[in-house]
Amino acid sequence: MFHQTPTRSIVLVFALAALALYAIYGGYFAREIVVEIAILAILAISIDVVAGFGGMVSLCHGAILGVSAYTYGILTAKLGYPALPSAVAAIGAAAVFGTIVGWITARTTGIYFIMATLAFGQMAYTVIFKSRWLGGDDGMGGLPRFDFDWAGISMTKSLPFALYALLLVLLCYVAAAWVMRSAFGRTLCGIHSNEPRMRAIGVSTVIHRARAMGFSGLLAGVAGIIAGQHIQYISPELLFWTVSGEALIVVILGGLGTLIGPMIGAIAFVLLKHELSGHTDHWHIVVGLVLIATVLAGGRGLYGQAEHWLGRRKSGGATRNA
> Once rounded to an integer, what is the mean pLDDT over residues 163-178?
96
What does the pLDDT look like over 254-301, one tens digit per residue? 989 899 999 999 999 999 988 888 877 888 888 888 888 887 776 678
310 within a domain of the structure (yes/no): no
Look at residue 7 in the predicted model and tell me its pLDDT.
Answer: 82
Query: Which range of residues forms the domain containing residue 38?
Result: 6-240
Please report the pLDDT score of residue 293 as a whole number. 84
Assess whether pLDDT exceeds 80 at residue 321: no
Q: Which phi and psi angles does 70 have, rounded to 5°?
A: -70, -35
pLDDT tens digits for range 153-168: 888 899 999 999 999 9
How far is the C-alpha of 83 from the C-alpha of 77, rounded, in Å? 9
Interatomic CA distance for residues 257 and 102, integer angstroms: 19
The pairing of beta strand 233-234 with beta strand 140-141: antiparallel
- Domain membership flag for residue 204: yes
* Total domains present in the chain: 1
Residue 265 lies in a domain: no
Tell me, yes or no, whether 290 lies in a domain. Answer: no
Calpha distance 274→4 (Å, rounded): 31
Please indicate, yes or no, if residue 212 is contained in any of the structural domains.
yes
Does residue 107 lie in a domain region? yes
In this structure, is residue 248 part of a structural domain? no
260 domain residue, yes or no = no
